[in-house]
Structure 1
Amino acid sequence: MLDQKAIRIVKSTVPILQEHGETLTKHFYKRMFAHNPEVAPLFNNSNQSGGTQQRALAGAIAAYAANIDNLEVLGGAIELITNKHVSLQIKPEHYPIVGENLLASIKEVLGDGATDDVIDAWAKAYGFLADIMIGREKQVYEDNATKEGGWEGFRSFKIERKVEESSVITSFYLKPEDGGKVPSYLAGQYITVRTSTPEGGTTMRNYSLSDKPGNDYFRISVKKETDPQPGIPDGYVSNKLHKEYEVGDTLEVAPPCGDFYLNTHDQHKRPLVLMAAGIGITPILSILQTALEAMPERDVIVIHGSLNEDVQAFKSTLEALSEKHPKLSVHFRYSDPVKEGVSREGNASTGFVDAELIESLIPSRHADYYFCGPKPFMVNIYHELLMWGIPASQVHFEFFGPREALEKPAAV
């Protein structure tokens, strides 16, 4: 346990972390990659170049410092980080590297403010948190390895099918190359795909599983991002999957992870509202299929926002499910103006997914909400549910970035 002196000193650094946290984390990543380049493949280059990773870490450090004497409030954040770490194969041997570079960065950025007492307190605080994370990650690794069909590390999966779902989204059906079983997973979780880089290294990306659990394959549905330009890593993996990988090729895959999933033990009678924008439909579709089987008497409302019909994936799948299940209603919302010859009537409309639309489609605000999509969509939905007073236990989402960013409404 941490001593009271260390707790007091760490909490006293909260104001400076809130003011200079992003400067600190930018310096930290730059320093770590220079001194320990072996850990670079564990990080998403696009998140680094866009500053998302730095802002997320800055928010996490400040939150940890502010709540170091009441870590129960950080339980959800610790579980989220645990799943991300396991998906990227973070191991105990990586923690000393992070700790050494973090403490050195505190010294180098804060200067005279980084007294011996401050460094000593933060060394204890980091060690305390590292022990918690290592212990929880060990449990997840063991669970993944010991379940039927499970494994640890990366396993080769063969591409059995490659299906175009829209003009920008393609599904990949993956089966174990060794002929073994596919483990079960929780609807809404993701897998990690590792592939080579032009420089001869590797890089990893998380992709939501877009089909229900229980099949003899994994399915990921990948949106091809804008073609990457020299020096800009955005879209590298998605473009490689779309353009280079064909049926019969193999991918390195890590076990399913993620803390965004449907709780099938929750048998409340209140409606289940599933909302997605764009490629965010992938985990939502898995959740929907599972909910229809596990909770057949529950009202389910699906709202899928897209730019237009050309880029939208799984429209026919959602319509077929709606015809089959009387408790399910589906609405499609398109932000682009309607094209000539295209009709948007009945369960389709033009505009953004907003509070007015949501309320017009649900029988009651008192519902369970699951949503996934681009940041502006996520921020707006979260803000509207907050304004409605929906309890946190009924709001479920996956959001990468500083939690504070969700607190401000944004235009879609």
Structure 2
Amino acid sequence: MLSQHTMDVVKSTAPVLEVHGVEITKTFYKNLFEANPALLNIFNHANQEKGRQQTALANTVYAAAVHIENLPAIIPVVKQIAQKHRSLGVLPEHYPIVGEFLLRAIKEVLGDVATDEIIQAWGEAYGVIADVFIQEEEALYQEAENKQGGFRGFKDFKVVKRVAENALITSFYLQPADGSALPEYLPGQYITVQVKDPNEEYILNRQYSLSKSYDGESYRISVKRDQKNTPIGKASNYLHDYVQVGDTLSISAPAGSFVYEATEKPVTFIAGGVGITPLISMFEKAASENKAAVKLIHSASHLNEHAFEKALCRIAIPENVTYVQHASDVAGKITKEMLAEQVDLTGEVYLCGPVGFMHEVIASLTELGMSRDQIHYEFFGPAMNI
């Protein structure tokens, strides 16, 4: 239990963290990896390259400072991050290392402003916050392990089928290499795939949504090739170029809190590009049980980039279910006017796609009168504000 004095000191640092948070977390990760390079086998390199991880951690540290007297207020963020941590194999023994380098980074960036009193207060606060994460993550590890066929950490799965969905997206079907039962998952969840590229010094970890409903037979991930061959696309391009039927991939048990929740209200799913992948199983689940209107809008850059068209058309057979294709090369961006016409604003919206796309859609929906509680979204990466 933190003393009132400790909480007051931590809370007083919030304005400084709001300004210097990203600088602190960039310094933190730089120093952490220089001293502990083996941790690069756990972290998602793509998120590091884009600065997403640094921004997400800065947001979390700032939120912790603001809400230090009421930590339950940040539990939704904790749960989302804990899902990512569990899928990456973060363990309790990692937290003291992180705490040590976070405090060092605060001192390095803030200099004399970070007094001994502030560093001590943050050390105490970090211990309490770390315990919250450790407990939440252990519960998730146990939940994954206790399912039929469940497991803790990573397990080898065999590629049993490979399908080109279009020129850019290829699907990989995966089954447990040991022939055990396939653990169940919720519509919208993802797995972490460990890519062991012989040309890379460290393991590449990348999360991919499970792009079909659970059938007890196989998992499916649908991977978009990075045409620009950026460092961020290394894992995806390796899968495209080298992974064939019969190969094995080490994956984590399904994770993620962006899942479909049953409702009697109308539901609209809005996907941008490969953001369609977590929404496929959600759309199928809603179409099978919701008596109200169910609609999926898939926006892509070009008409030929609408993957899974036949499968989505089959899901949309019931009268209350609609599948809408939108191509920006023909119709331009999704506008507020289009959303007003296509979305039942009294219902729920599930949204996934590039961050710019989601920002625009969320802004338009809120301008049209939808509350944030009606809009559910997933960002492909760490928990960042949109």
Give TM-score scaled by structure 2 length.
Answer: 0.96
Matched, 1:253 2:282: no
Counterpart residue identity of residue 315, structure 1: E
Question: What does 1:293-372 correspond to in 2, within 5 Å?
Answer: 293-295=288-290, 297-322=291-316, 324-337=317-330, 350-362=331-343, 364-372=344-352
- Residues 264-322 of structure 1: per-residue CA shift (max 9 Å, x gap): 3xx32x21010001000000101011112232x12101100001122221122222222
Helix, strand or coil at the partner of 1:149: coil
Q: Provide the residue aligned with 2:110 in structure 1.
A: 110
Picking from 284, 292, 298, the partner of 1:289 is 284
CA distance in 2 between partners of 1:299 and 1:381 (Å)? 20
Q: Percent identity?
A: 40
Q: Provide the residue aligned with 1:344 in structure 2.
A: none
CA distance in 1 between partners of 2:146 and 2:287 (Å)? 29
Question: Contact 1:277–1:306 (CA<8 Å) still a contact in 2?
Answer: yes
Question: What does 1:165-244 correspond to in 2, within 5 Å?
Answer: 165-197=165-197, 198-228=199-229, 232-244=230-242
CA distance in 2 between partners of 1:216 and 1:60 (Å)? 38
Q: Which runs of 5+ in 1 are unaligned?
A: 338-349, 407-412
- Residues 132-190 of structure 1: per-residue CA shift (max 9 Å, x gap): 10001000000100111110111111111100101100111111111111111110000
Question: Contact 2:345–2:369 (CA<8 Å) still a contact in 1?
Answer: no
Helix, strand or coil at the partner of 1:25: helix
CA distance in 2 between partners of 1:93 and 1:403 (Å)? 25
Q: Provide the residue aligned with 2:74 in structure 1.
A: 74
Question: Contact 1:194–1:205 (CA<8 Å) still a contact in 2?
Answer: yes
Give TM-score scaled by structure 1 length.
Answer: 0.90
Matched, 1:277 2:257: no
Q: Moved runs in structure 1, 4+ residues, more than 3 A?
A: 400-404
CA distance in 2 between partners of 1:94 and 1:239 (Å)? 30
Higher deviation after alignment, 75-84 or 48-57: 48-57
Helix, strand or coil at the partner of 1:310: helix
CA distance in 2 between partners of 1:73 and 1:382 (Å)? 23
Helix, strand or coil at the partner of 1:18: helix
Helix, strand or coil at the partner of 2:231: coil
**Residue 401 (structure 1) shift:** 5.5
Q: Which runs of 5+ in 2 are unaligned?
A: none
Q: Provide the residue aligned with 2:21 in structure 1.
A: 21
How big is the alpha-carbon RMSD for the aligned residues of Structure 1 and Structure 2? Answer: 1.4
Question: Contact 2:267–2:295 (CA<8 Å) still a contact in 1?
Answer: yes
Question: What does 1:399-410 correspond to in 2, within 5 Å?
Answer: 399=379, 400=381, 403-404=384-385, 406=386
Question: Contact 1:227–1:239 (CA<8 Å) still a contact in 2?
Answer: no
Count residues in correspondence.
384
